[in-house]
């Protein structure tokens, strides 16, 4: 099953990459992930306590927003890391004042997952 998932993710990435010159969302999806690990390393203070919230899209963010805001009220020492899969969420909420860090989620490849957690 993992093999099928990895193949699907690879082809999804390839389709987005090929369509990016012609599709604004695909272009933002690619551009937003460019140098993502460098951005994470530069901006995230890994010594801080971090609460990570991931939202696939803007709709998911709006549903989870009360949870994020309540968490921030209760746990003031935690830094909020907010990630998005799609440009619809990231582009509108990249300056969300409750979150300390807002990024695109890196491509879902095994090596990227390891690097992501290493940087956070």
Q: Model confidence over 26-75: pLDDT tens digits? A: 999 999 999 999 999 999 988 899 999 999 999 999 999 999 999 999 99
Counting every residue, how long is the chain? 120
Q: Give me the domains of the chain, ranges plus CATH numbers.
A: 35-119 (3.40.50.11720)
Region 64-91: mean pLDDT is: 96
pTM: 0.88
Burial of 103: CB neighbours in 10 Å, binned 0-12, 13-18, 19+? buried
Degrees to nearest 5, angle at CA 47 with 65 and 45: 60
CA atoms within 13 A on the CB side of 102: 18
Tokens 């969302």, residue located: 25
- Between the alpha carbon of residue 73 and those of residues 26, 79, 81, the distances in Å are 35, 12, 15
**Torsion sign (Cα): 41, 69, 62, 51:** positive
């Amino acid at each position: 099953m993992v093999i099928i998932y990895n193949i699907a993710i690879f082809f999804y990435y390839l389709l987005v990459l090929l369509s990016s010159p012609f599709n604004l969302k695909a272009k933002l999806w690619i551009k937003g992930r460019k140098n993502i690990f460098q951005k994470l390393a530069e901006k995230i203070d890994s010594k801080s306590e971090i609460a990570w919230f991931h939202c696939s899209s803007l709709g998911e963010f709006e549903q989870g927003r009360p949870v994020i805001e309540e968490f921030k009220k209760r746990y003031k020492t935690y830094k909020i890391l907010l990630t998005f899969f799609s440009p619809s969420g990231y582009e509108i909420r990249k300056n969300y004042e409750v979150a300390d860090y807002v990024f695109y989620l890196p491509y879902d490849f095994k090596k990227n997952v390891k690097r992501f957690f290493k940087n956070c």
